[in-house]
Structure 1
């Protein structure tokens, strides 16, 4: 059984860590966790504690990570924060995700499936009842039509809503332009991601963590067109980060510039005029970035 959703799942010992289990679940994706935490989660299922409810949202974190090809390791220090980040997703964002999933799984005039149970974590929905609520809301707004149990098709208005998102951007969506070097992984996971997702209740998009079949440059341009604002961390001075920030500015999107303090001296001359968040470690980046977003970017809540 899956320790997050209590549905059938494949379990095996993790060969790379002692007393660690790997889980493969259709609902929650693939993830690993210590054996002790595995049994702790099942204790939550047998209680009415607040932690039990958080497991629903932890499924959102692990499923999203699994969809982009990552296998998350959960431990006693990180699982609560991961879950809380997805518990704060706004209804507006969930509705947009619903439309995006159907658009990706269908085409005009054809329907696509969104399973109210298996796919609930992709929407950060608490349960199947919330998925039904989201579907009814979109139907009432004439953005989707029902095409059978768990099958939906976008109406003309629905396709227009998806396509028009490229004009002004989807409220609450943030494109993150930064180097993908391993030395900055912690800066994203424990700095940028938590500032945007948990502290500001918005959606961060980093292109290496998005599944796609398009050419990478086309996908980057498409994602920037749909974002409300962009975060450009210029640490390590990657040319692509400057290009993506410039493209976003050309579209009229706000850009928040950040740089690690030991690399600030290398920031390109043309962008030194902009107010950079200068950070030392991920916690510092998270705090400063959350404050800047709240002060300068309109909230979707």
Structure 2
């Protein structure tokens, strides 16, 4: 893949500074086998996501390069074929010269070596140890980010059941209350997702923000626990009393709304919940708790709590 011909047209033009971040993010998604389907009206959001996730410092770029190189290896001892002209995006580099500079450094510290007499490279044992260390650092987070719709009912479900399941499992719930999504708040949300070990995304209400945040988490490689209120998942049409606007006048009446998850996510294994009985909500809490422990084990706050109780 060559990146020199990637251009954008106004009003979605990106600066040279952000170009390497956009290209690097796209290449990384490809390595992770993520589907890249960017509609024109989503392009600015995609660029924002790329800039947020991209490594900014030289050490972070080198770490990211080493991780991405490992994704090219079929097994620890396999050769890796790279071409600086085509592959400089692996390190979110501006050009091939920056890429070669980082490769030289990885060679000097014995993390990545070129095979004698060939264009192939290998990650050394020391390199694989470093990759494991980077993975451990990422996974020591005690935080779970929750993406959800903010209504009185959902707030109660979060406080009484979702957050309790997270805390019982030994993790800290992180939620950012519903406010106007300006650039500052969006940056805060993305930063907290990046600091999290995993996410719980509840699709009740089919909020666009939940879809975006869950997609961002998946792009980072985080596991997402998918939840939804049953009557918002079962592809039903609901009728509710409400207000609607006709000819600039507000009127009261029955509003029909379609309730179903988007086909991009409805094949996931969802934990469904119902609000009509406490027993069902207790089961919802237990299902979340079990899912967390099965996927991630008990969190660091669980051990801390046990020590404090002694």
TM range (shorter): 0.3 to 0.5
Structure number with greater Rg is 2
